[in-house]
Structure 1
């Protein structure tokens, strides 16, 4: 008997390259999705997943490479209707209009008309028929804002199917769902697959890949790494493909000397709880660097911002050197001995209209003069010292901070955090968006703070930042689920971050 020919791919992307100025966001994007399968696309932040999705959905064109749907070239970007007939993406954040009904959302901008007016009875009937055809059990007259998240997603899927699309991209669809809702969503996905719908499933929760997908493609460092049947790729191999490191190759680690157990505890957190995290207990000793890792939505950033005075928890306590930490008051946290680098230097870290010197000394104005008057000479001297200490490449304290490169601007934010000689330094994504040289300079400042006896808490998605830590705590769904001492292997930490047991 002759072998059956391989089915024609429903979607095929080959040799995709996408550049943004000097940055190459995707240098070798590849994807082959067969009809009727659920195909997982996985990779760490920055791997190129979002760029590939934007090209697959016609939001932007690739600089090089080809995209084909069912053997035919992708339509021109300007032909939005042609794209809607081929593909749709359901994002984490809903694209439905919450104040409209389900029926109105299903047929928005294409409502049935009668004598120039919307035919409401026909609209509701067509909506009911569409929902019934795909077994989506939602009231067409319900206000969309009142639906559960999973039902809103199913409405978006039904809307996409009504255009004729049979290829649906689900981008982190379970991020806001609990366990029971996830199981229901997966049940609907399987039923839709049986009806001829094909899914591209993007998730940081690798366990879900094994539950609902048949094939997985891994991207890393803007390149295609592998595509394989899920059953042929054990979890450990999948994590190693994402990390780019095998157990055998990862013996050489940046090691730190463990902080002695009798070193005084500087930060003590007990039972800290908020909508983003629950029951957090942790300590950081003098001269210790503790990392916080986790996927987006794990609660790590909200926890760090609570300790920096930006947020108020619903329960729990934190002390710095035995002094209760005041919540929801950045100035009071600063007075307690907390310095911090925010997650976004543009939105939270810098005042662009001010100079380098002004920005660097904002946290210590009370030390630069008396009775509310700031001595200009004193400010310039302190700013010059900080510029020298952090090797900030600038014409001087009087240069506008908006003139600086990203790396030097981030150094100004770090300088301000260190200016108050903090006892606790909270760093949130301290090396985000900076060049390699600036990154090393910023991390060496972290090492210097540790040597000075400062307690450091660093939140980062960058493994290189976390490698400098004495230990790394992993948050998953708002709880600390793992602790890794210095010397961890990349695949072990990534497995914890993604919520999988890499021994499986």
Structure 2
């Protein structure tokens, strides 16, 4: 039995961000030469641990060691690069530079007079790529590379610093089946050359295909570590979801929209690289969930309904009307209200007031001939503030001055301002406190009770519990439909692409 210390070890890790505890006494030990999976639901603490393992943040408590030695100081970036590297889902390759320039950025070989020797840089790049069997032309611009090739270049760059411990963060999110198979083959080859991986993924079938060991985090805490082959898939899902996995999902509404008119009809909708041949309907007063892990296509599908994307084929009809594909104004005119995935980037204009943000979708109600009647605008805004319980001294306050929960309420108020026939929500309670979360979900139920059809795209179980039924997407395909009364265990398994006999959990 090997007595070598772990390649990477984190013990007693606690990390706080204000009043939020992102990690509490968490731990992880990755052994030499293995591919070690780190899994958990959103908010489990995975990203925070990775930021600590890669030296981007320091833990408030606990310690990190590499090969038995203490981690470098945070300021010693070269020291961290020699020990660990992370290949993120969003590439850090600069597309305007060549592959060679990306590989040796800020450390180019220099000739006489201190000038960069480009022939030497290209030669070193070719040698590095050949050493790690990366079949890419070092002279081409990185923009010409596929997602798969960019990942391999990033791995080669990490290895060139001397690191033999690589963190792969959702590496297959943008890859097709053939590319995933090639990635796994390269990982196995690199393992044979002494490289160790920490593998983070929402797709549990990948964990069972490529990983040796799995560690589960839940609610900012360490749960278990086990050899993958000794952990049944049902047990892994249960560890990720906790005791609630066997509890019956609550449902506060008793709505029956079976005889109501269709407010949303999606027919044979396809978008290359996102989703394929998806069809479903939402009736007046019905709340329908779109569940799926990262890369499932749920977000892109919801954005298509809201007019942010144009599908390659198929159609969307809102209350019998077919808005122009990819047109937000046409979707609004047809009766869509929309809460986007990221309120900071898509949801509001921080330098504008609550009144201006909340009424962006209803300019026609603010005055005639394109002029804004500020008194009318403020009257509408005060009604929004009251209805959504937004904590603000008045409608003139900039949205940037509000808490996260109140900012999300402003985004919700804007979505409801045009009295929508269909309300489309993407992760509507992300990043808000518990009270704001409960309030927002209550408001959604009230909206549905008034006859609006609601579509919620999310992977957060609390967002989905109110749904009359939940449609599950996996790798762009609609794979399951679950009526109210579903169990956490069964829904998470379907989202992760795990085929479980859920009868044992009913």
Coarse TM-score class (shorter-chain normalised):
over 0.9
CA deviation string 1:461-480 (max 9, x = no partner) = 32111101111112222222
Gaps of 5+ in 1: none
CA deviation string 1:291-324 (max 9, x = no partner) = 1122233222222222222222222211122122
Q: Could you tell me whether the CA contact under 8 Å between 1:383 and 1:397 is conserved in 2?
A: yes
Match of 2:494 in 1: 496
What's the CA shift for 1:24?
1.9
CA deviation string 1:9-54 (max 9, x = no partner) = 1111001111222222222221101111111111122211111111
Q: In structure 2, what is the Cα distance between the partners aligned to 1:351 and 1:161?
A: 42
Q: In structure 1, what is the Cα distance between the partners aligned to 2:181 and 2:327?
A: 41
Q: Could you tell me whether the CA contact under 8 Å between 1:150 and 1:177 is conserved in 2?
A: yes
Q: Could you tell me whether the CA contact under 8 Å between 2:257 and 2:283 is conserved in 1?
A: no
Q: Could you tell me whether the CA contact under 8 Å between 2:249 and 2:486 is conserved in 1?
A: no
- Alignment pair present for 1:348 and 2:346: yes
Match of 1:464 in 2: 462
Match of 1:479 in 2: 477
Q: TM-score, normalised by structure 2?
A: 0.92
What's the CA shift for 1:232?
1.3
Match of 2:69 in 1: 72
Tell me the secondary structure at the aligned position of residue 298 of structure 1: coil
Q: In structure 2, what is the Cα distance between the partners aligned to 1:435 and 1:417?
A: 20
Give the direction of change, closer, same or farther, for the CA distance of 1:404–1:502 in structure 2 (3 Å limit).
same
| 1:440-451 correspondence to structure 2 within 5 Å | 440-451=438-449
CA deviation string 1:137-174 (max 9, x = no partner) = 33444443333332332222222222221111111111
- Alignment pair present for 1:272 and 2:263: no
Q: Could you tell me whether the CA contact under 8 Å between 1:271 and 1:317 is conserved in 2?
A: yes
Give the direction of change, closer, same or farther, for the CA distance of 1:154–1:359 in structure 2 (3 Å limit).
closer
Greater shift in the superposed pair: 80-89 or 256-265: 256-265
1:108 to 105, 110, 125: 105
1:434 to 415, 426, 432: 432
Greater shift in the superposed pair: 372-381 or 321-330: 372-381
Tell me the secondary structure at the aligned position of residue 131 of structure 1: helix
Q: TM-score, normalised by structure 1?
A: 0.92
Greater shift in the superposed pair: 143-152 or 455-464: 143-152
Q: Which runs of 4+ in 1 moved over 6 A?
A: none
What is the CA RMSD across the aligned residues, in angstroms?
2.3
| 1:210-221 correspondence to structure 2 within 5 Å | 210-221=208-219
Q: In structure 1, what is the Cα distance between the partners aligned to 2:383 and 2:178?
A: 57
2:311 to 313, 328, 332: 313
Q: Could you tell me whether the CA contact under 8 Å between 1:307 and 1:325 is conserved in 2?
A: no
Tell me the secondary structure at the aligned position of residue 339 of structure 1: strand
| 1:114-133 correspondence to structure 2 within 5 Å | 114-115=111-112, 116-133=114-131
Give the direction of change, closer, same or farther, for the CA distance of 1:365–1:471 in structure 2 (3 Å limit).
same
What's the CA shift for 1:427?
1.5
Greater shift in the superposed pair: 227-236 or 258-267: 258-267
Q: In structure 2, what is the Cα distance between the partners aligned to 1:132 and 1:401?
A: 53
1:10 to 7, 10, 33: 7
What's the CA shift for 1:69?
0.7
Match of 1:94 in 2: 91
Q: Could you tell me whether the CA contact under 8 Å between 1:10 and 1:70 is conserved in 2?
A: yes
Q: In structure 1, what is the Cα distance between the partners aligned to 2:371 and 2:326?
A: 27
Tell me the secondary structure at the aligned position of residue 113 of structure 1: coil
Tell me the secondary structure at the aligned position of residue 355 of structure 2: helix
Greater shift in the superposed pair: 294-303 or 133-142: 133-142
1:413 to 411, 414, 436: 411
Q: Could you tell me whether the CA contact under 8 Å between 2:257 and 2:285 is conserved in 1?
A: no
Q: Could you tell me whether the CA contact under 8 Å between 1:12 and 1:31 is conserved in 2?
A: yes
1:21 to 18, 21, 24: 18
